[in-house]
């Protein structure tokens, strides 16, 4: 999807919500107004003045996961009676049976339009909610319920998921058609193991994981199941949609470690108590950037197969600049 088309799609969304499972949601009003200069702390305390002053009053966030882990976040952006814009975000994604893994589980958190943390951040296993939800609206309502807060009556949601949401075309063709991709070389260039979006990131100094060779297959199928059940319509490369105003994108918190844009937003918050929740916050902030500041993210080149999807990362988070490598190479 080109940057121009992406902006047109966003302009059609009256409200957007971000969530992270290894994912994340975001919601915003049609006015696209930036957050106000009055900010609530993670504990609900109102802090006057600029975000810079809010950062001085808050402890720095904890360190994020490195490329060896798989987590995510969820978030929403909505209108309320007391604020022009509200962003809700939910958190992190574990495997299908992540209740057995004390280190990595699903996590949810919610931010309002002023990027305030509201409700009660949640961490556990979303498998029951995924299975029990009858449709997109029911799914979103259940996520709000887990965070002990109610969704607004009119809502459109952006879900940012921190897990691979597809396999490479070459891998699919190998499995379904027995077609091979020719000579296979080093791992980072292996088109069975990595989609074009991951190979793009490798060339720019990042190290994304593979749903084929790394230990995130369970998380990946969980995220893809959410897509198939709640957001099966492809809106463009790396953008999926479902009923009840649900939009889904793929996030990558580890790709944000070097981003000044994301770090500046992260400084608005204190510690959330677990790395899963921290990743959920990062996913929610990515959903916020996708909805409100899309020009800060790397858009997929025209050469990327729509079927493979795209990982949305901040431009200033790439160790190697886009300008020095180009965005059209595979």
SS3 state at 47 = strand
pLDDT digit string (tens) for 137-189? 999 889 889 989 888 777 777 888 889 999 999 999 999 999 999 999 899 99
Residue 281 in tokens: 């916050």
CA distances from 223 to 19, 20, 185, 228, 291 (A): 12, 10, 29, 9, 20
Does any domain span residue 251?
A: yes
pLDDT value at residue 59 = 38
pLDDT value at residue 65 = 32
Q: Choose between 4 and 183: higher pLDDT.
A: 183
Does any domain span residue 143?
A: yes
pLDDT value at residue 75 = 45
SS3 state at 110 = strand
pLDDT digit string (tens) for 249-268? 999 999 999 999 999 999 98
Confidence of residue 215 (pLDDT cuts 50, 70, 90): confident
Domain enclosing residue 11, as ranges: 3-167+209-325
Q: What does residue 110 show for φ and ψ, rounded to 5 degrees?
A: -130, 135
Residue 91 in tokens: 């958190």
pLDDT value at residue 6 = 52
Does any domain span residue 199?
A: no
pLDDT value at residue 152 = 73
Greatest mean pLDDT among 45-49, 81-85, 119-123, 275-279: 275-279
Classify the C-alpha dihedral 273-317-49-284 as positive or negative. negative
pLDDT value at residue 96 = 63
Percent of the chain past pLDDT 90, that is, above it, reads 42
Closest C-alpha to 213, from 101, 68, 21: 68
The predicted model gives 272-280 an average pLDDT of 88
Does any domain span residue 185?
A: no
Does any domain span residue 187?
A: no
Does any domain span residue 191?
A: no
> 205 pLDDT exceeds 50?
yes
Contact present, 246 and 157 (Cβ < 8 Å): yes
The answer for 238, left when phi > 0, alpha when psi is -120 to 50, beta otherwise, is: left
Q: What's the structural domain count of the chain?
A: 1
Does any domain span residue 222?
A: yes
pLDDT value at residue 312 = 98
Q: Choose between 277 and 324: higher pLDDT.
A: 277
pLDDT digit string (tens) for 11-69? 433 333 344 443 344 544 433 333 332 222 222 222 223 333 334 343 333 333 333 33
Does any domain span residue 304?
A: yes
Greatest mean pLDDT among 60-64, 123-127, 199-203: 199-203
Residue 126 in tokens: 């979303």
């Amino acid at each position: 999807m080109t940057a121009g088309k992406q902006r047109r799609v966003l302009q059609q969304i009256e409200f957007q919500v971000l969530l992270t499972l290894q994912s994340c949601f975001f919601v915003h009003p049609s006015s696209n107004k930036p957050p106000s200069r009055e900010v609530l702390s993670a504990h609900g305390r109102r802090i006057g003045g600029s975000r810079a002053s809010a950062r001085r009053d808050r402890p720095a966030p904890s360190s994020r996961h490195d490329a060896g882990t798989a987590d995510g976040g969820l978030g929403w952006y909505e209108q309320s009676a007391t604020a022009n814009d509200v962003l809700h975000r939910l958190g992190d994604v574990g495997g299908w049976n992540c209740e057995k893994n004390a280190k990595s589980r699903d996590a949810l958190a919610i931010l309002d339009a002023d990027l305030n943390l509201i409700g009660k951040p949640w961490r556990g296993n979303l498998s029951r909610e995924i299975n029990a939800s009858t449709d997109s609206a029911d799914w979103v309502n259940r996520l709000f319920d887990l965070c002990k807060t109610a969704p607004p009556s009119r809502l459109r949601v952006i879900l940012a998921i921190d897990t691979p949401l597809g396999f490479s075309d070459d891998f699919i063709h190998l499995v379904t058609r027995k077609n091979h991709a020719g000579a296979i070389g080093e791992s980072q260039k292996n088109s069975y193991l990595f989609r074009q979006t991951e190979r793009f990131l490798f060339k720019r100094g990042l190290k994304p994981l593979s749903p084929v060779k790394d230990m995130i297959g369970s998380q990946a199928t969980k995220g893809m199941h959410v897509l198939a059940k709640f957001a099966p319509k492809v809106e463009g490369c790396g953008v999926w949609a479902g009923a009840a105003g649900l939009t889904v994108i793929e996030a990558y918190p580890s790709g944000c470690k070097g981003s000044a844009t994301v770090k500046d937003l992260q400084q608005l918050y204190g510690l959330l108590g677990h790395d899963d929740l921290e990743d959920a916050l990062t996913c929610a902030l990515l959903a916020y950037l996708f909805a409100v500041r899309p020009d800060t993210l790397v858009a997929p080149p025209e050469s990327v197969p729509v079927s493979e999807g795209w990982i949305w990362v901040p431009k200033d988070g790439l160790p190697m600049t886009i300008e020095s490598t180009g965005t059209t190479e595979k």
